[in-house]
Amino acid sequence: MPAPIRLRELIRTIRTARTQAEEREMIQKECAAIRSSFREEDNTYRCRNVAKLLYMHMLGYPAHFGQLECLKLIASQKFTDKRIGYLGAMLLLDERQDVHLLMTNCIKNDLNHSTQYVQGLALCTLGCMGSSEMCRDLAGEVEKLLKTSNSYLRKKAALCAVHVIRKVPELMEMFLPATKNLLSEKNHGVLHTSVVLLTEMCERSPDMLAHFRKLVPQLVRILKNLIMSGYSPEHDVSGISDPFLQVRILRLLRILGKSDDDSSEAMNDILAQVATNTETSKNVGNAILYETVLTIMDIKSESGLRVLAINILGRFLLNNDKNIRYVALTSLLKTVQTDHNAVQRHRSTIVDCLKDLDVSIKRRAMELSFALVNGNNIRGMMKELLYFLDSCDPEFKADCASGVFLAAEKYAPSKRWHIDTIMRVLTTAGSYVRDDSVPNLIQLITNSVEMHAYTVQRLYKALLDDISQQPLVQVASWCIGEYGDLLVSGQCEEEEPIQVTEDEVLDVLEGLLVSNLSTPVTRGYALTAIMKLSTRFSSVNRIKKVVSIYGSSIDVELQQRAVEYNALFKKYDHMRPALLERMPIMEKTATNGPTEIVQTNGETEPSVVEAKHPPPVTQPANQANDLLDLLGGNDVVPVIQTTMPTKPASAGGELLDLLGDLSLSGIPPMTAYSKNGLKIDFTFERANPNPNIAVITIHASNSTEADMTDFVFQAAVPKTFQLQLLSPSSNVVPALNQGTVTQVIRVLNLQKQQLRMRIKLTYTHKGSPVQDLAEVNNFPPQSWHAHPSLGLIG
Amino acid sequence: MQFMLLFSRQGKLRLQKWYVPLSDKERKKISRDLVQTILARKPKMCSFLEWRDLKIVYKRYASLYFCCAVEDQDNELITLEIIHRYVELLDKYFGSVCELDIIFNFEKAYFILDEFLLGGEAQETSKKNVLKAIEQADLLQEVSMLSSIDGFSWLF
C-alpha cells in the first residue's frame, strides 16, 4: 500500500480543481483512501491523514469519521501526533457529543506530562472547549498548575481556570488560594492572565469582589510602573508598554472601584495620569484612553475627572479615525443620562456626525442627538434632525420620525412650530412614520384649538400635492372631516387663507376613496370624514350619494360604515348633528411604551376594528359632562364604545340605558389567594370607561417570619380573554407583613364573560424554592359585567 | 472573544477558531452569514458592527479578512490590537506572510494562535515569548518525527 499523499500535496492538488464538482471528486477519493487507512489502524500515517481531513473540513466537507482518530492521536506518545490530535479535537469535536469525554483521561495525563509543551496543549484544549463534566474532573489539576513556578504553564492555567469557572461557577472557590500572589509575578503573561482571572471572579461573586478590593493599591502600582518605565522592547507597542495589560488592569479597577468610595479614591490619581499622559496618535493609545474613560465613568470619581473623561470623548469625536468616533459615540450614549451637561458641550460635533458616511456612526449620532434635545436647543437641533430625516437611509426614517415627534411633543416652543414640524415629517418621510403616530398626531391637533384652521389648511394643501403617503393622508382626512368648515370659510390667521369650495374638498376626499394608492384604512378615514362634513357643509345630498354608493362596497369595513351612515341619514337624522359634532379635547393617557396606541375618541384603527385590544382610555369628567349634558345626563363617567360601532338601531335604547347606570367605581377588593403565609389581594382601579378592560392591582404580603425572595407572580386567563402583566414593584415580599409587592394586571374581556384566572406563584422561602398554582374564581361581578355602550361614530 | 474567522475576499474560510460551544451546523451558518455581511461592507466603513447581538471587530490585511466576535464589555480598540499582534506573529514566523502561507500551513497558523490566545483571551503579551514557544514546540515536533518513517523530518 503506497504511503498516503502528504498534506501539502493534497492542498496543491485540490487547488488545481477548476470546478466545484472536480473538487468534490478529489475530496471524495481522498476521503475514501483516508477511511481505509483508518480502518487498517495505521499508526504511522494517522497524523498525516487527520491533518488532511482537517483541511477538507475547513473547505466545508464532512469529517466526523475522523473524530475517534483524533482521540487516538492525543493518546499517542509522539508530540507531532498530540499536536494534530488536539487541534483536531478542537475543530471536530464539541461538547455536545459524548465522544469528547473520552479525552478526559488523556488530558489528565498530559496535564502531568514531563514536557511543558504537552502540558500546554492539554491546558489549551481544556480551556478552549472543555465541557462542564471535564472541567469538574480536571479542575484539581488546573489548580495545581496555577501554583507552579513555571510561568509558561502558570499563565495558561490561569486562563484555563477562567474557562472552568465559566462552565462550573461553583468551583470558583477552589481557585481562591492559588490567587494569593499572582500579582507579584514579574512575567507579563502571568500578570495579564491573572488579571483576567481576578476579573472573572470579581464579576461573578460579590464576596470575591469584596475580598479582592485590597488589591487595588497593587494594581495601581503595576499600572504606574508600566506607564513610567522606560522603553521595554519586549512589550512595546508604538511607544506604549504592554497596552494589553494596561487595558485589563483598567478594566479590573473599574469593577473594583464601582460603588466603593475608598477604592475609587485610591485610583483617582493614576486614572488622571493615564488620561493626560497617554499618546493619542495611534490606535493603541486611544484603546487605553477609551478603557480609562469607561473606568472613570463607572466608578465614584470626582467631577473634575468625569469632565476630563467626557472631554476625551469629545476629542475622539474629532478624530479622523472612524473607529474612534464610533467608540466615542457609543460611550457618550451611555453617559448622556448621568453627565448630561458635560455631553451637551459636544453637541455640535455630535450633530456633525449625522453626516458621516458610516451607517453605525450615523445611527449612534442620531440616538445621541435625540438624547441631547432640550428646551433650549430644540429649534436648532430640530433643523438638523429634519435635514437628516430628509436625506438618511430608509432604515433610519422610522426611528428618526418617531424621535422627532417625541422631541417636538416635549419641547415645542410654540404650537405652530409643532404643527409645522409634524407637517414636515409627514410630507418628507410620511410613509415611514409608525402607525401609532397617526392617533397621537390627531390628538395633538385636536388639542391645539387655535391652530385648527391653519392645520387643516396646510394638510389640505399637502393632500393636493401628494396622496401616496398614508399616514399623512389619514391625518389629513381626519382633520378635513373635523375642521372642513374652517377650511371653506377661509378663516386662517397664521397664513394666507386659501379659497376652496365645499365641492373641491369633497372632490379630494372622494379621490382618496377611489385612488389605488389608498389603503383600506385610509379609505375608512376618508369615508368617515365625508360623513362628518354632512353636518359642516351644506352639500348634504352629495354626501348622501357617496355614502349610499359605498353601501355595496366589496371592502367589508367600508360597507359597514356606509350602511350605518346611511341608516343615520334615513332613520336617525335627528341624532346626526350630535353624533358628528366637533371632538372635545382629549387627554393623553400615560403610555407604557412606544407601541401603545392612544385611542382617539371614537375613531378606530383597523386593528381595533378587528376587535384586538384597545388600551384603557380615561376620560376626564368634565368632557364627559359636556357630552352628556346634550343628552340630559348626570355626572356619570360615560362609557364610550371604542370597538366596532354598534348598529344605530340600538343606539337610542342604549343611550337611555346609560343614564340608568351609576357608580362604576368602587368595586370592592378581594383576596385571591391565601396560603402558607402568603396572601394576595386584588384591587380594582377606578372602573375604566372601556368596559372591556379590567385593571387589577395585586398586593402580595407575607405574614411568616422569613422573607420570600425571588417572588414571581404569573397569571393565565381562558382563551377568550387577553392578559397584560406589568412589572412588579419588587421581587422580595418582606416578612411579617412589613411591606407588599404590587403588580398591575390588565385583562381584556371582549366577550364580557365571567372573569376567571389561574395564578402561579414561585418564590424562595427559608432557602427552599416554593411553587404553587391556584384558581381565582371569586371575582366580583362588577369587574366584568357588561355595560351598555354609546355608539359614538367618529 | 467568542470566535475568530479568517477569510479571503471570495469568502473562503482560511481559519476558524471557536471559543463557544456550537454545533458544526451552527458554526457553518454563522460563518456563512457573517462573511457575507462583512464582504458587503464598503471600504470606508467602521471596523466595528453589531450583528445579531454580537459585537464584531474586523480588519482586512491584503487579501485576508480577520474577524472577531467579542463580548459586550470587551474593548473594541484593543481587539484591533490583538488582531494586529496575531498578524505580526504570523508575519515574523513565515517571513512576510501572505495568504498562501496560511493556506498551505493552516495547522501552523492554529498553533501560533493557540500560543497567543487561550479561551479567547491573550495568554502572552510579549511577541518574543510567543515566537520562542512556537520555535521550541516545532523543534520538539521535528525530534519526535526523526524517529519515524524515513529519518527525515517530513512534516506530514
Reported ipTM? 0.94
pLDDT of residue A546: 87
Neighbours of A447 (CB within 10 A): 15
> Mean pLDDT of all residues in chain B?
92
User: Number of H helices and number of E strands within chain B?
Assistant: 5, 7
Nearest to B126 among A123, A188, A359 (CB): A188
Per the CB < 8 Å rule, is B76 touching A323? yes
pLDDT of residue A670: 87
A684, A695 contact by CB (below 8 A) = yes
- Written as one string, the DSSP assignment of A390-454 is HHS-HHHHHHHHHHHHHHHHHH-SSHHHHHHHHHHHHHHHGGGS-TTHHHHHHHHHHH-GGGHHH
B36 touches chain A (CB under 8 A): no
Q: What angle do CA B144, B146, B151 make, to 5 degrees?
A: 160
A672, A680 contact by CB (below 8 A) = yes
pLDDT of residue A247: 97
d(CA B29, CA A309) in angstroms, rounded, equals: 41
Nearest to B148 among A44, A55, A247 (CB): A44
State which H helix or E strand residue A753 sits in: none
B46 vs A contacts (CB less than 8 Å): 322-323, 326, 358, 360-361
- Written as one string, the DSSP assignment of A126-144 is HHHH--HHHHHHHHHHHHH
- Please state the separation of Cα A474 from the chain's center in Å: 29
Q: 3-state DSSP call for residue A198?
A: helix
B12, A11 contact by CB (below 8 A) = no
Smallest CA–CA distance, residue B142 to chain A, in Å, is 8
C-alpha gyration radius of chain B:
17
User: Number of H helices and number of E strands within chain A?
Assistant: 34, 10
pLDDT tens-digit map of A560-587: 999 998 888 888 888 888 888 888 777 6
pLDDT of residue B147: 60
Q: 3-state DSSP call for residue A670?
A: strand
d(CA A559, CA A675) in angstroms, rounded, equals: 55
pLDDT of residue A1: 59
d(CA A684, CA A780) in angstroms, rounded, equals: 10
d(CA A710, CA A717) in angstroms, rounded, equals: 23
Start-end of H helices in A79-175: 79-92, 103-111, 116-129, 132-146, 151-167
Q: 3-state DSSP call for residue A40?
A: coil
Closest by CA to A443, choosing from A496, A414, A405, A411, is A405
- Domain of residue B117 covers 3-153
Instruction: For residue B103, give the chain A residue with the closest CA.
Output: A11
d(CA A455, CA A584) in angstroms, rounded, equals: 17
Confidence of residue B111 (pLDDT cuts 50, 70, 90): very high
B98 touches chain A (CB under 8 A): no
pLDDT of residue A720: 79
- Domain count for chain B: 1
Which residues of chain A are under the pLDDT cut of 50? 590-665, 786-794
Q: How many CB pairs under 8 A join A and B?
A: 176
C-alpha gyration radius of chain A:
36
d(CA A471, CA A74) in angstroms, rounded, equals: 67
pLDDT of residue A553: 86
Nearest to B104 among A11, A120, A361 (CB): A11
d(CA A197, CA A716) in angstroms, rounded, equals: 44
Smallest CA–CA distance, residue A302 to chain B, in Å, is 23
Residue A683 pairs in a beta bridge with: A697
A243 touches chain B (CB under 8 A): yes
Percent of chain B whose predicted confidence (pLDDT) is above 90 = 80
Q: In terms of residues, how long is chain A?
A: 794
A12 vs B contacts (CB less than 8 Å): 104
Phi-psi region of A753 (alpha: psi -120 to 50; beta: other; left: phi over 0): beta
pLDDT tens-digit map of A77-127: 999 999 999 999 999 987 777 777 889 999 999 999 999 999 999 999 999
B78, A287 contact by CB (below 8 A) = yes
Report if pTM > 0.80: no
pLDDT of residue A478: 92
**CATH number for the domain that contains residue B46:** 3.30.450.60
d(CA A254, CA A300) in angstroms, rounded, equals: 10
A189, A155 contact by CB (below 8 A) = yes
- Lateral strand order in the sheet of A741-748: A670-675, A678-684, A693-702, A741-748, A722-725
B103, B86 contact by CB (below 8 A) = no
Give the orientation angle of helix A132-146 with respect to helix A103-111, to 10 degrees: 0
b/e for A574-583, b at 16 or more Cβ within 10 A?
A: eebeebbeeb
Cell output for A603 = 375613531
pLDDT of residue B148: 53
Closest by CA to A262, choosing from A186, A338, A329, A210, is A210
Mutate to test the interface with B, among A47, A76, A86, A124 (most CBs of B within 10 A): A124
pLDDT tens-digit map of B36-46: 999 999 888 89
Question: What's the whole-number mean pLDDT along residues B113-122?
Answer: 97
